[in-house]
Amino acid sequence: MKLDELKKYKKILLLGYGKEGKATEKFLKKYLPESIVGISDKKFDPNYLEEQKNYDLVIRSPGVKKNLIIKDYTTATNIFLANIKNVVIGVTGTKGKSTTVSLIYLILKKAGKKVHLVGNIGYPMLEEILKPIGKDDIFVCEFSSYQLDDIKYSPHISVVLDLFPEHMDYHDGVENYYQAKKNIITYLTVNDYFIYNPQFLELKAWADKTRCKTIPFEQNIPIENKDIPLIGEHNRENIKAAVTVVHLFNVDNRIIRGAIKEFKPLPHRLEMIGNFKGIIFYDDAISTTPESTIFAIKSLKDIGTIFLGGEDRGYDFKILIRTILDYYIPNIILFPDSGLKMLSLLKTMAKKIPRTLITSSMDKAVKFAYQYTPKDSICLLSNASPSYSLWKNFEEKGDQFQFFVKKYR
């Protein structure tokens, strides 16, 4: 929604008051000082949705489902995209978003571009555009499916990394989740770009039907494997995405190589915690789908213990369990609720079930790992399920894992 449209509303409600809500409040105070701005959030009032009736316009937080809105509404994402005149690179996908936007940002910065990293990675878009902006500044934005669920504008460059079932409870099914992701390209023009991973047939089908310029990921990246600090084939795909994007800005391969070599893996994403008592500990708390955990297993290979389970979102774990058995992982720790579903599959699929601990305690889980993980092998936290059964988010889960690993080292 453009500023001129926003100014028509005299009473505006921020529905949800996290980082993005607070940034939106600052934005409205600067550009709409005469409007009345209210705040309603579930953490303040369980009946927070009822406050909508007292306002002319609602600005929906990503965590609030769009079907709960009963008034005219917009979002911070729509306000940003409607009012920004600079080039926006928008990146989405089920996994790899934060790594990819961070890498694009670093490469462009090394190339001397004035670049801003914003969006779902933790830097609210509207807060960033309160700062001075040059006409040539570039915005690299991570978009979640929650943010894309009802956008009315597309970035100039839209990137989709991959597509797996996730957030099905929020979107009421996998088809709606995929549609939310597809929204990133809905408003692209003939002068815009859609960059996509050609390994995914769904993304190729999207590319065939869009009117913008379409570019599959470049397959030859200008760096040798030994110089890449990121583990796993999935991270090579993230690098391909980043390279494809920055080549649109004519960035030299020498600069790209240097930036990739310098890049530091983000926390909780196949992050090596250390080698303690002969065991190598990896924190991959970000892996909250079976596909992502399978990537982690294939990337690390020599795993002695794996931590699995969390909130049950109805995922199919058969391929994951088959992968665990194929890689002969001898020790498995299972957290509720989905851990019980995995245990049932293990009993059905395995001739001999690996040593298994069922627990709700990260403390007990780490003690078990220290006791049974074979020396010189890996202990991997990669739960293949969302964290919310026991933890408030994947960061809390990963931090807890690291705390106990270091406590008992």
C-alpha distances (whole Å) from 299 to each of 18, 76, 232, 317 are 35, 37, 4, 19
CB 184 within 8 A of CB 143: yes
The CA distance from 177 to 20, in Å, is 21
Q: What residue ranges define each of the domains in the chain, with the CATH number in brackets?
A: 3-76 (3.40.50), 84-262 (3.40.1190.10), 271-407 (3.90.190.20)
**What does the CA dihedral 214, 217, 221, 225 come to, rounded to 10 degrees?**
170
The CA distance from 46 to 231, in Å, is 43
CB 398 within 8 A of CB 267: yes
CB 44 within 8 A of CB 38: no
pLDDT in tens, the chain (409 residues): 999 999 999 999 999 999 999 999 999 999 999 999 999 999 999 999 999 999 999 999 999 999 999 999 999 999 999 999 999 999 999 999 999 999 999 999 999 999 999 999 999 999 999 999 999 999 999 999 999 999 999 999 999 999 998 887 889 899 999 999 999 999 999 999 999 999 999 999 999 999 999 999 999 999 999 999 999 999 999 999 999 999 999 999 999 999 999 999 899 999 999 999 999 999 999 999 999 999 999 999 899 999 999 999 999 999 999 999 999 999 999 999 999 999 999 999 999 999 999 999 999 999 999 999 999 999 999 999 999 999 999 999 999 999 999 999 9
**pLDDT tens-digit map of 108-167:** 999 999 999 999 999 999 999 999 999 999 999 999 999 999 999 999 999 999 999 888
Q: How many CA atoms lie within 13 A of 145 on its CB side?
A: 26
Residue 398's CB is within 10 A of a number of other CB atoms, namely 23
Give the pLDDT of residue 124. 96
Which residues make beta-bridge pairs with 158?
Answer: 90, 194
Give the pLDDT of residue 46. 94
Q: What DSSP line would sit under 139-161, residue for residue?
A: EEEE--HHHHTT-S---SEEEE-
Which residues make beta-bridge pairs with 57?
Answer: 12
Give the pLDDT of residue 199. 96
C-alpha distances (whole Å) from 214 to each of 190, 235, 273 are 10, 22, 39
Give the pLDDT of residue 301. 86
Strands 331-334, 378-381: pairing kind: unpaired
DSSP 336: T
Can the peptide bond before residue 172 be classed as cis, meaning omega within 30 degrees of 0? no
Strands 331-334, 303-308: pairing kind: parallel
The CA distance from 337 to 389, in Å, is 7
